[in-house]
A and B are shown apart, each in its own frame.
Chain A
Amino acid sequence: MNTSSQRLLHVENLVLHFKTAHGAVQAVDGVNFDLDVNRAVVILGESGCGKSSLAKAILRLLPRNVERYSGEVYLQGQDVMALDEEEFRHNVRWAGMSLVPQAAMNALNPVLRVGDQVAEPAMIHLGVTKSQALGQAKRMFQHVGVPEDFLDRYPFELSGGMRQRVALAMALVTSPSLVVLDEPTSALDLLTQANIMNVLKRIKHELGTSFILITHDIATSSELADEVAIMYAGQIVEVGDAKDFFPAPLHPYSKMLMDSVPRLRSDADPIFITGQPPSLVNLPTGCRFADRCPFRFGKCDEEPPMIEKGGRKVKCWLHV
């Protein structure tokens, strides 16, 4: 992890708070993680933990009610937080990293041919001609497994799985080194989900793209994960290599989350986590999971540090 030449993304102390009538919603509250070239990190968390806000914070796609937005984001060694909006839009978003937003397959423009929609980002962000952009779109269609003649079709002529592939092709058409996927399979059927995960794996091998996969679906996420980051109440509480994480998660929340997954190939009785995550407006001062944690002890009233443990990191006093 020390070879900085391989380092693609470095996120340090990223903060995104929203202004609301009830106070500041601390959706992303001091997130740190790194991603190397041609790796995929899965950000796992339950609804309302701030995982979609994290995607927005990385890509600087901010709504109007931002209370606080700070931290460091380095993409390929470049400090992108220092760029102004115009530079960021020109050189980073799409060209450097792109997003497949949640329910992207339903966000395609219904009155434009999908080929033109996929080609458009290439024309705008790479400055190529329309025919070059269409050629690039055609190549991306091959990578994501959409037949070439679909370039001339309209979104309503495609099935959900095909539209999701088109959305993926659009994110890839500018050849970004990083693609952020927000719940890419949650609205799809089982077999279509498996197909899309196959496509993502293939793209990772063929194009060397890195991925940030944001999801609540633990089982499906393991199809792509090189690294796993568990998010809880605006913070990452555990991050580590998938090969270490899945057999033995460290944080009590990660453990319970893993034990709550019903499994097809095991008879273990799944458990559930009692209680609810804290409100992001009114966060406790100590460990944010303490109220639901069966291992709570005196120390947990103070905020735990991120502890390094054999290449993994966990934010929990138990592992000091």
Chain B
Amino acid sequence: MEENGKSGQGALLSINDLHVWYELRRFGFGHAGYVKAVDGVSFEMAPGETVAVVGESGCGKSSLMKTILGLNIPTKGDVIFDGKNLSNLKGHELRAYRFEVGYVQQDPYGALPPFMSVQKILEEPLLISGVKSKDERLSRIRKVMDEVKMYPADDFLPKFPHMLSGGQQQRVVIARAMLREPKLIVADEPVSMLDASVRVEILKLMHALQTEHHLSVIYITHDLSTVKYFSARIFVMYAGNLVEKAATRRLLENPLHPYTHALLAATSDPDARNADTFKEVPPGEPPSLVNPPPGCRFHPRCAQAIAGLCDEKEPPDFEPEPGHQVSCWLYQ
């Protein structure tokens, strides 16, 4: 995507210098530092655009997601959705915002209340948003069940979540996210709990819904091999920062950041020759988000780190090719 100004015009979602810090307290009181889960993240998303946020557990991708969903309050920086600053929304405005953003959880069984039937699960968001007529509620539920390809809907509506397969449960979760006709869907590892043969089916379903409804989707994952079937752009996240942002194809063909290289090298394709070689894995583990290393946060694990630079100064975003940003001193 082009750099279309910092004002957020034309963008559906624009994140500016977002920080989400959690305060640590000693013995319940007394300040003991911050967990800097998101530490200076900026990006923009156009309507109908899909981006993938790729990173390992503890890199802050869930905190970023929860802040976009309005579940966390930013410590610093702004989340601007459709021209509205999320921090300024109160009461019914915030509620209206939540209707515009759908959430697809990672674990479908955990995300569905076990004591409610599919019909009840899907009726509830409509009740909360004030759809009073039962007929209208049911017709909307039928429509959305049709869209997630659960038909005949009447067979599924009386069922409870435990009676459905993993793939069907995830369809109900997607149906629930789609009910209020959102503009943005946040999908947190939507297929990681599913079996291989179902995974692709759900990804294709989400892709079809995205195209048909011109939805924006943030796809959060650690699995680089599924990204290209789904997202136009990839953001790679490490220790609270987005270290590389590029169009999916460019990032896979020409990865720049050493961490992105490591992620790609660690991703296996099924191939018997894999057993003959060892994988290159950077040493160590992601840093503590309480006391991240100075300079580039990846430098203690990076084979190409430049002494006196990478361990001292935090790298800004460089743009070695148009639309491809990388936060690494190698590309200054």
Contacts and interface: CB of A to CB of B under 8 A. Distances in A.
B275 A272 contact: no
Interface stretch (A66-74, A98-106, A263-271): A263-271
Interface in B256-308: 262-272, 274-275, 278-279, 281-282, 285
A182 interface: no
B269 A265 contact: yes
Interface residues of A, number: 48
Interface stretch (A56-64, A123-131, A219-227, A306-314): A219-227
A246 B200 contact: no
Contact of B272 (A161, A216, A242, A266): A242
A191 B275 contact: no
A266 B56 CA distance: 23
A270 B269 contact: no
A220 B275 contact: no
Given A46-B196, A262-B225, A222 B271 contact: yes
Nearest to B230: A262
B45 to A, nearest CB: 23
Contacts of B200: 260, 262, 270-272
Contact of A191 (B223, B269, B271, B281): B281
B225 A194 contact: no
Contacts of B272: 222, 225, 242-243, 245-247
A276 B165 contact: yes
Contacts of A191: 56, 262-263, 266, 281-282
A40 B197 CA distance: 24
B281 A194 contact: yes
A186 B150 CA distance: 29
Given A191-B282, A258-B270, A222 B199 contact: no
A103 B199 CA distance: 22
Interface in B180-200: 195-200
B224 interface: yes
A222 B223 CA distance: 17
B197 A220 contact: no
B134 interface: no
A266 B269 contact: yes
Interface string B194-210: 01111111011000000
A47 B204 CA distance: 21
Contacts of A224: 275
B275 A226 contact: yes
Given A222-B270, A247-B272, A272 B198 contact: yes
Interface string B108-144: 0000000000000000000000000000000000000
A146 interface: no
B166 A260 contact: no
B167 to A, nearest CB: 8
A38 B52 CA distance: 41
Given A47-B166, A266-B269, A198 B226 contact: no
Contacts, number: 119
A282 B262 CA distance: 46
B271 to A, nearest CB: 6
B267 A218 contact: no
A204 B190 CA distance: 35
B151 interface: no
Given A218-B196, A223-B274, A264 B279 contact: no
Given A201-B278, A222-B275, A193 B266 contact: yes
A264 B266 contact: no
A2 B27 CA distance: 66
Q: Which of B56, B224, B225, B274 has the most CB of A within 10 A?
A: B274
B244 to A, nearest CB: 15
Contact of B195 (A192, A193, A216, A226): A216
A24 interface: no
Given A191-B262, A225-B272, A246-B272, A216 B278 contact: no
Interface string B13-42: 000000000000000000000000000000
A214 B188 CA distance: 26
A261 B196 contact: yes
B201 A263 contact: no
Nearest to B263: A190
A263 B262 contact: no
B57 interface: yes
Interface in B310-325: none
Contacts of A262: 199-200, 203, 223, 225-226, 228-229
Given A47-B166, A272-B201, A189 B57 contact: yes
A257 B200 CA distance: 11
Contacts of A107: none
A264 B225 contact: yes
Given A194-B266, A198-B278, A264-B224, A246 B271 contact: yes
A195 B56 CA distance: 14
Contacts of A65: none
Contacts of A219: 225, 267-270
A112 interface: no
Contacts of B282: 191
Contacts of A216: 195-196
Given A193-B266, A262-B226, 8 more contacts: A189-B57, A190-B222, A191-B282, A246-B272, A261-B225, A264-B224, A264-B264, A266-B269
7 contacts: A190-B56, A191-B281, A191-B282, A222-B272, A226-B275, A242-B272, A243-B272
Interface of A: 40, 46-47, 159, 161, 189-195, 197-198, 201-202, 216-226, 242-243, 245-247, 256-258, 260-266, 269-273, 276
